[in-house]
Amino acid sequence: MISAVLTTQPVHIIGAGLAGSEAAWQVARAGIRVVLHEMRPDRMTQAHKTDGLAELVCSNSFRSDDAANNAVGLLHAEMRKLGSLVMRAADVNQVPAGGALAVDRDGFSAAVTKALAEHPLIEIRREEIGGLPPEDWGNVIIATGPLTSAPLAEAIRALTDESALAFFDAIAPIVHRDSIDMSVAWFQSRYDKAGPGGSGADYLNCPMTREQYDAFVDALIEGEKVDFKDWERDTPYFDGCLPIEVMAERGRETLRHGPMKPVGLTNPHNPLVKPYAIVQLRQDNKLGTLFNMVGFQTKLNYGAQQRVFRTIPGLENAEFARLGGLHRNTFLNSPKLLDPQLRLRAAPRLRFAGQMTGCEGYVESAGIGLVAGLCAAADALGQALATPPPTTALGALLGHITGGHIETIDAGPRSFQPMNINFGLFPPLATAPTHGPDGKKLRGPEKSVAKKQALSARALADLDGWIGDSLKLPAAA
Ligand SMILES: Cc1cc2nc3c(=O)[nH]c(=O)nc-3n(C[C@H](O)[C@H](O)[C@H](O)COP(=O)(O)OP(=O)(O)OC[C@H]3O[C@@H](n4cnc5c(N)ncnc54)[C@H](O)[C@@H]3O)c2cc1C
């Protein structure tokens, strides 16, 4: 099969991050040659630190791995069914993280790099593509991510006549484990939940009294922030990645109902006193020497971060391996610009993948890379490929990007925003479950759990059907 398709033109993939790496793998699995262009290490972005492919620039978490109850866990399961390289590398590099799938970031990136570098159909070129791809590249995937280099971003903007929308993502600080005071902090996962590779005691928890919490909220609000550059002013935040001090500004209780919620945890140092708020830290590397502050993305300046975060009980002497930071994001107005197969309507030889398309998150970016890879391979083979059904997580995400959003560009400011996968993107069930397996009528929260489980079961069945009926690429299914 491979020799039969060696004569076809290669698929050129620009950007070897989460999306580009997964796309390259899927195209090569289908027996098509790939040229993968990655600008690092010659030119770095503001967030990447290494020359590794699929580098994780912030958190080391792929979030929940629960396919039955959680939409991102379902996305994991679908990607595994489709032979995802990103999921394979994540699975073999997982570190304990309660119900989440978290990875050793260096091991993960090294595994992806090795698999792609050793694939006989993939050529990796370390070069920046500084403008529109040459006309003789007939089948291109652009997966250059939220930090797309300026010359390429400018060329795309000129081609699409759309101004890219920028907003802030903020990096959460990382703390050396041995600088955390364990006479104050303790290990426990919320509700003692043990996830893949976890023990039920994977998070480090720092408790706060009401007085400490109040003072902390004040300090966050008053802390010095990073100066904004002109182009960063008036840029809206994405709600899923709000800086901690912005959350604090939204209301005194906001943090206590968000990343600092004190539920499902008991302080063994003082079991009778319920903490008013809790800061959680999650393991960040395989050795267990580094822990990141969960949900503490921030735009406080470095001095303020050290001062304010060291008021957290247990972190008085914290040594920071990395402090939080600010970064821009770039994404297309995809519902208007892209067709259902992620091709630019104005220039169909150019397909987009990853965060540039308006999905949000590592897993989602890789998932859209996977779909883009399958579509590009089908194009190369002259096959028509139906995209995954909208009832699947991959199809629901694709639907959000290429058409699920109600576009208001003509009526006023554009409203398309990046989105994590969530059950709200799935078409409703024909019949919502009303009774449990025991025949009892379901109520409130039970109903919602049963609905999610039914959506997940439908998604996995429909994906199997799609793989059997539609996915005719060599080796893809
Ligand atoms: C600062 C920051 C923090 C984030 N934190 C998280 C997080 O904690 N969790 C999460 O799930 N998501 C996070 N995201 C969101 C997002 O999911 C990730 O950025 C993800 O890596 C996007 O995948 P991607 O493949 O689209 O882009 P990337 O993984 O960024 O890959 C793009 C690649 O293209 C290369 N490139 C860029 N321009 C060119 C060019 N002209 N020529 C050649 N190569 C080029 C880059 O070097 C890079 O390797 C964060 C984003 C940012 C910016």
Q: Give residue-wise pLDDT tens across range 309-355.
A: 999 999 999 998 778 876 667 888 888 889 999 999 989 999 999 99
CA 222/CA 441 separation, integer angstroms: 51
15 marked among binding-site residues: yes
Q: Residue 425 pLDDT > 60, yes or no?
A: yes
Q: Compute the distance from residue 392 Cα to the ligand 1 centre, in Å.
A: 24
CA 65/CA 81 separation, integer angstroms: 14
Q: Compute the distance from residue 18 Cα to the ligand 1 centre, in Å.
A: 7
Which residue, by CA, sits nearest to atom 30 of ligand 1? 145
Identify the pLDDT of residue 166: 46
| 141, 352 contact by CB (below 8 A) | yes
pLDDT band at 13 (very low <50, low <70, confident <90, very high): very high
Q: Residue 31 pLDDT > 80, yes or no?
A: yes
Identify the pLDDT of residue 407: 42
Q: Give residue-wise pLDDT tens across range 204-214.
A: 999 999 999 99
% residues pLDDT > 90 (the chain): 64
CATH class of 170-327: mainly beta
| 60, 49 contact by CB (below 8 A) | no
Fold of domain 11-166+329-431+456-470: FAD/NAD(P)-binding domain (3.50.50)
Q: Of 284, 291, 364, 361, give the one whose Cα is nearest residue 107.
A: 284
Identify the pLDDT of residue 229: 52
Q: Residue 294 pLDDT > 80, yes or no?
A: yes
Q: Residue 235 pLDDT > 70, yes or no?
A: no
Average pLDDT of 107-122? 98
Contacts for 409-417 with beta carbons within 8 Å, 24 or more apart? 409/333, 409/336, 414/165, 414/333, 414/336, 416/333, 416/334, 416/335, 416/336, 416/358, 417/238, 417/358
Q: Residue 237 pLDDT > 80, yes or no?
A: no
Q: What pTM did the predictor assign?
A: 0.77
Identify the pLDDT of residue 165: 45
What mean pLDDT value characterizes the chain? 88
Identify the pLDDT of residue 414: 41
Q: Compute the distance from residue 71 Cα to the ligand 1 centre, in Å.
A: 21
Identify the pLDDT of residue 29: 97
CA 320/CA 18 separation, integer angstroms: 26
153 marked among binding-site residues: no
Residue 459: enclosing H or E segment and its boundaries? helix 444-469
Identify the pLDDT of residue 412: 33
Q: Give residue-wise pLDDT tens across range 59-76.
A: 899 999 999 999 999 999
Residue 283: enclosing H or E segment and its boundaries? strand 277-283
pLDDT band at 150 (very low <50, low <70, confident <90, very high): confident
Q: 431 in helix, strand or coil?
A: coil
Q: Give residue-wise pLDDT tens across range 163-183.
A: 544 445 556 888 989 899 999
% residues pLDDT > 70 (the chain): 88
Question: Of all atoms in ligand 1, which is nearest to the CA of residue 20?
Answer: 25
258 marked among binding-site residues: no
What is the secondary structure of 198-237 as a DSSP string? --S--EEEEEE-HHHHHHHHHHHHHSPBPPPPGGGTTPPP
pLDDT band at 404 (very low <50, low <70, confident <90, very high): low
Ligand 1 pocket list (CB less than 6 A): 14-20, 37-40, 45, 47-48, 57-59, 128-129, 143-149, 152, 169, 171, 327, 329, 354-356, 361-362, 365
Which of 50 and 400 is assigned the larger pLDDT?
50
Where are the chain's structural domains? 11-166+329-431+456-470, 170-327
Which residue, by CA, sits nearest to atom 11 of ligand 1? 361
16 marked among binding-site residues: yes
Identify the pLDDT of residue 3: 40
Question: Of all atoms in ligand 1, which is nearest to the CA of residue 151?
Answer: 41
